[in-house]
Structure 1
Amino acid sequence: MKIRTLLLALFGLSGLFNAGQSLAAVDAKALYKTHCAECHGPGRLGIIGPALLPQNLKRLRKKSAFQMIESSRPAVQMPPFKEKLNKAEIESLVELIYTPLKVMPKWGMDEIKGSQLVYHKPGKLPDSPKFEADIDNLFMVVELGDHHATLLNGDTFEPIHRLPTRFALHGGPKWAEGGRYIYFASQDGWISKFDVFNLTYAAEVRVGINTRNLAVSHDGRYVIAANYLPHSLVVLDARDLSPLKVIDVVDGSGSSSRVSAVYTADPRESFIAALKDIPEVWEIGYMDEPPAGFSGWVHDYREESGDAHKEERFPVRRIQVEGYLDDFFLTQEYDRVIGTSRGLDKGLEGSAGQVVDLDLKRAVAQVTLPGMPHLSSAITWQYQGRNVLATPNIKKPEVTIVDTETWEVIKRIPTQGPGFFMRSHEKSPYAWVDVFFGPNRDLMHVIDKQTLEIVKTLKPVPGKTSAHVEFTKDGRYALVSIWDLDGALVIYDAKTLEEVKRLPMKKPSGKYNVHNKLTRSRGTSH
């Protein structure tokens, strides 16, 4: 039987090859056709296995990819190829998959419709869960190590169900309809709808070739996906993931952009998109009845389309900004975003944060945030009668505390290394932040939200990365991921900071609590 997936777990490639055979003498295209095309497609766009394009392999070094093809790795479906291919042949395959395509592949409405898979038609499955648990306190834990996810009871910390996922989930799954459904996005463009009550997938569709994340409307009717490749936003009917609209992300001059991420702005009945390559923020409306000021949306949309009679569903408001906001945080009121800025002009030099008012459609403040603040992981809380924002920093060993009224930096809290994820809960006095990068990646800092001091530093598993805290719905327990193939979920008492339980898992990443996510808790990302 031919291989199920060349690089199904894509974690490897070493640049060594057979000294007796030159790379030029190897027909990489023929090798790919024989060993790879069945699962990854003749054009490397992916089928069962992921797309094998440079845009999809940014997290995978060539050295690691070579090792993956040669020896595979535990807990993946791909067999080792060291008995079938010599080192020169493996190296040639690596060079091929890291070579850009000469023609940008098309993935539009026809391709999306053709990929749709409906396993259970809407309304055909029972409306009551097959298990006993508090739905509001369920967690979905993504396990990247073997491409699975675990549905976890947040009261007993016992697994309810373990399900396979598409390759390389990205951007975090999103709950909807009170926890009845959860939606996953894979890096290879697959959007999957999982019926939690019935423990089965309901539908899937492929919206792109390289997808960043998805968002679900507050009423559970629409799903929108943000793509790197092609440069588009795709709106889906949440019932069966039928595509409703493909929005090409292009500015007024014809320049296109990758979409870094898309978010839901509940009270605005809209989605907010961060763009990577053009200096704009986009707001996409999904309301049924036009709100006050809707005429501005229609005008903007018709100007872009050049067609006054074109359907006005999901209109776009384009907001001009300074530089590029490819990572940002929405305020709790959803009226402003603070984004990480790149390419600012000299007038804003030294500022890495820009505040954009969505109603005024312009930047209203700048924040000095050197390094690379991870604003999509930022959280807020009340401090001395004012609302503050706290963000980890990917390049600097610090947590920055910002007053969201004045946008002044209140404090920079030194950490033992750059961090990636930060979490808290309204009922907890503490904020937790990891030390994801550097030699101290096994540490987890706990910060007192009123003194703004680190009160304890935990080391759940020496030598293994600690990451991504999430709280139970009542804030009583904090769950920490040990980011390793031989990893674990470690549960702490959020008040005493003592460990109470740990569950073995395969490189657990994010943990997503129904209540915290659907109520848009201040302590978690939205």
Structure 2
Amino acid sequence: LRPAALKKKEHYKLVETILNGRENTAMPAWKDKFSKDDAAGMVDWLMNWKNTVELKLDLDKVKQTWIKLADREALAKKYPVDKDGNIKYKGGDVKNVKDITFATERDASLVDFIDSTTGEVLSRHKAGFAVHVTVTNKHEPRYAYSISRSGRLTMFDIGAPGQPAVASVQVGQESRGLAVSPDGKYVLAGNYNPGGAVLCDAHTLEPLKAYDTSRVIDPDGQIGPSRVAGIADTPYGPYFAMALKDAGHTYIIDYSKPDFPIVGDVPNIGKILHDCFLNENEGEDFGRYFQIASQGSDLMGIVDFKTKQLAAKVYTGKKSKPHPGQGSSWFNKKMGKQLNATNSMNFGSVVIWDSPGWKVIKKIKTSGGGLFVGTSPHTPWIWSDCVLGKPEKYNEVHLINKETLETDRIIKVGKEKGQLIDAKTGKVLQEWDATQYEKVPVNEVASKMSKEKLMPPVAKGKHG
């Protein structure tokens, strides 16, 4: 909805989009709510909107929003959990905290914690408007962190009964990315607005450093603000990577050094950077490459943590708009290669490339544009959604064989029934009643946070 982007489009087409929606996207039709004049007025306002307040990330302002919600040390003493995540007290919600799955109820602004061994919803927590992602502290798995679209960073102790929130901080007014350092000491949260990222202590959520991106050079040579998109930690070294969405850069931060400096600035990756993931090659190169989607240039940029340079660009197809979500990286025994995959938003295509050759191996057709592609060592498939597909196809999940690179199965999820389908023959292999899960008894937890304490905007030039 940025004016610069909207002005490149035709006014009447934008009006039609508001009224009739857009096929293969999440944009619904609003013609039952708005008249044509209403829609035209919205487009006029959006195309001519001018920013009167330029925001700049300010560490002191962020610190003012830091809230302690529970005594973390007292909880750890009362409810001990060992380094492997095993519960060491009686009456725990689970036997091991690694059995707890995180789920996001975006529209309800809730984080859910689920016992993956039974399917029981253990608790639900308010954690800011439109919770975006929840991640774990792999070094200390009793701790989890969520970031909301409204900039609320929340820390949970999932080793204690009820998985209480223990700390919170408002890192921005609009946020997306989140990563925890492998040593368990630091959390990095990325903002769309004000542009930048905030580094926090992973045990307390105390803000330690702000990385402002209000004045950076974009791919066209213009100086201006940039949102921060994908953020990743890596086992390859003491680094965080943060992608500057509008600037087309990636910053590499060394959290092992005093003052947590930016030790790499990789420019000219592409336009509109978004999701990212790491390569999972076995051995010393595990996590060496930060693979970032450039949706404006239809490519995956490959940033090398070792050289701190751009290793390659993998083109995913004209107007494909890659969106890997968590991405996928696995070893293909048949080819003897490490492979990687992304979904495509604009049409049904899972793009697969090798590493470190960085050549596209195959493009696999699916039923429609998707947002997520994922796998794990425990499944023989890559799982790809089609959520941006046509009404009769958007609820399909394609299961692509990691060895043959062919679609084996399709899961069709409906409100009344679900189906597992053989992709080659179309035969329904399994069917289940989806209505049995309509109501799940849960414990919704109200934390000590009431209304969000929003970080106030800081006009540029008004602080030292």
Which TM-score applies when normalising by structure 2? Answer: 0.71
Deviations along 1:318-353, one digit per CA (max 9) or x if unpaired, are 123343461333222222233333676xxxxxx723
Q: Equivalents in 2 of 1:119, 1:168: separation in Å? A: 20
Query: How many angstroms apart in 1 are the aligned matches of 2:417 and 2:49?
Result: 34
Corresponding residue for residue 271 of structure 1? 240
Equivalent position amino acid for 2:233 in 1: T
Aligned counterpart in structure 2 of residue 174 of structure 1, from 126, 135, 153: 135
Instruction: Indicate the residue corresponding to 1:242 in structure 2.
Output: 206
Query: Which residue identity does 1:448 align to in structure 2?
Result: N
CA contact (8 A) 1:321 1:356 kept: no
In structure 1, distance between residues paired with 2:368 and 2:295: 23
Of 147, 151, 155, 1:193 maps to 155
1:154 aligns to 2:98 (yes or no): no
Q: Tell me which residue corresponds to 1:434.
A: 385
- Return the match for 1:118 from 47, 68, 73: 68
Aligned-pair CA distance for 1:460: 2.0
Contact (CA 8 Å) 1:441, 1:465: kept in 2 or not? no
Tell me if the contact between 2:151 and 2:172 (Cα under 8 Å) persists in the aligned partners.
Answer: yes
Residue 469 of structure 1 corresponds to which residue in structure 2? Answer: none
User: Is residue 393 of structure 1 aligned with residue 362 of structure 2?
Assistant: no
Counterpart mapping for 1:74-113 below 5 A: 101-113=51-63
The answer for the alignment partner of 1:313 in structure 2 is 260
Change in CA separation of 1:106 and 1:441 when aligned onto 2, cut-off 3 Å? same
| Greater RCO (Cα-Cα under 8 Å, separation 6 or more) | 2
Contact map agreement 1:320 1:361 (CA 8 A) in 2: no
Given that 2:395 and 2:414 are in contact with CA atoms closer than 8 Å, whether structure 1 keeps it comes out as yes
Structure 2: where are the runs of 5+ without partners? 1-16, 20-25, 81-86, 281-285, 421-428, 441-464
Among 281, 306, 317, which residue is 2:250 paired with? 281
Whether the 8 Å contact between 1:275 and 1:324 is mirrored in structure 2 is no
| Superposition deviation, residue 358 in structure 1 | 2.7
Consecutive unaligned residues in structure 1, runs of 5 or more: 1-13, 17-58, 68-87, 289-310, 345-350, 467-477, 479-495, 507-526
Cα distance, 1:264 vs structure 2: 0.7
CA contact (8 A) 2:371 2:386 kept: yes
* C-alpha contact 1:232 1:259 (8 A) present in aligned 2: yes
Whether 2:219 is the aligned partner of 1:233: answer no
- Partner residue, 1:372: 321
Name the counterpart of 2:461. none
Q: Distance in 1 between matches of 2:277 and 2:238?
A: 17
For 1:451, the equivalent position in structure 2 comes to 404
Instruction: Name 1:8's counterpart in structure 2.
Output: none
In structure 1, what is the Cα distance between the partners aligned to 2:252 and 2:418?
36
Residue 340 of structure 2 aligns to a residue whose secondary structure is strand
CA spacing shift, 1:368–1:110, aligned 2, 3 Å: closer
Query: Are the structure 2 counterparts of residues 421 and 497 from structure 1 closer, same or farther at C-alpha, using a change threshold of 3 Å?
Result: farther
Q: 1:459 to 1:278 in 2, by over 3 A?
A: same
> How many Å separate the matches in 1 of 2:52 and 2:181?
37
Structure 2: how far apart are the matches of 1:64 and 1:232? 37
Deviation readout 1:224-265 (Å, 9 max, x if unpaired): 111111122111112221111111124479644221121111
Structure 1 residue 189 displacement after superposition: 0.8
Deviation of the 1:191 alpha carbon? 0.4
- Pairing of 1:282-431 with structure 2 (within 5 A): 282-287=251-256, 312-324=259-271, 326-327=273-274, 328-332=276-280, 333-341=286-294, 352-370=299-317, 371-383=320-332, 384=334, 385-431=336-382
CA gap 1:323/1:423 in 2 versus in 1, 3 angstroms: closer
Partner of 2:444: none
Q: CA deviation at 1:394?
A: 0.8
**Greater displacement, 195-204 / 324-333:** 324-333
Which residue number in structure 1 is paired with residue 79 of structure 2?
127
Give 1:208 shift.
Answer: 0.7
State the distance in 2 between where 1:464 and 1:417 align.
21
Q: Deviations over 1:484-508 (max 9, x none)?
A: xxxxxxxxxxxx97769864479xx
Worse-superposed segment, 177-186 or 496-505: 496-505
Cα deviation digits, residues 58-102 of structure 1 (max 9, x gap) = x998959979xxxxxxxxxxxxxxxxxxxx9xx99xx79x96651
Task: Decide whether aligned partners of structure 1 residues 365 and 232 sit closer, same or farther in structure 2, where only a CA change above 3 A counts.
Answer: closer
Which residue identity is paired with 1:393?
Answer: S
| Matched letter for residue 127 of structure 1 | Y
| Alpha-carbon contact 1:174-1:215 (below 8 Å) kept | yes
- The corresponding residue for 2:229 is 260
Q: Which residue number corresponds to residue 414 of structure 2?
A: 461
Equivalent position SS for 1:123 = helix
Question: Are the counterparts in 2 of residues 280 and 324 from structure 1 also a CA contact under 8 Å?
Answer: no
Change in 2 beyond 3 A, CA 1:62/1:184: farther
Higher helix share: 1
Q: 1:357 to 1:143 in 2, by over 3 A?
A: same
State the identity %: 27
Aligned residues: 371
Give the conservation status (yes or no) of the 8 Å contact 2:197–2:212. Answer: yes
Please tell me whether the aligned partners of residues 421 and 433 of structure 1 are also in contact (alpha carbons under 8 angstroms).
yes
1-structure distance, mates of 2:314, 2:57: 38
2:131 match: secondary structure: coil
What letter corresponds to residue 121 of structure 2 in structure 1? P
Q: Does the Cα contact within 8 Å between 1:189 and 1:206 map onto a contact in 2?
A: yes
Distance 1:458 1:104, change over 3 A: same
Match of 2:451 in 1: none
* RMSD (CA atoms): 3.6
Superposed CA deviations along residues 153-177 of structure 1, whole A, max 9, x for unmatched, are 111112222222311012x211114
**Could you tell me whether the CA contact under 8 Å between 1:210 and 1:228 is conserved in 2?**
yes
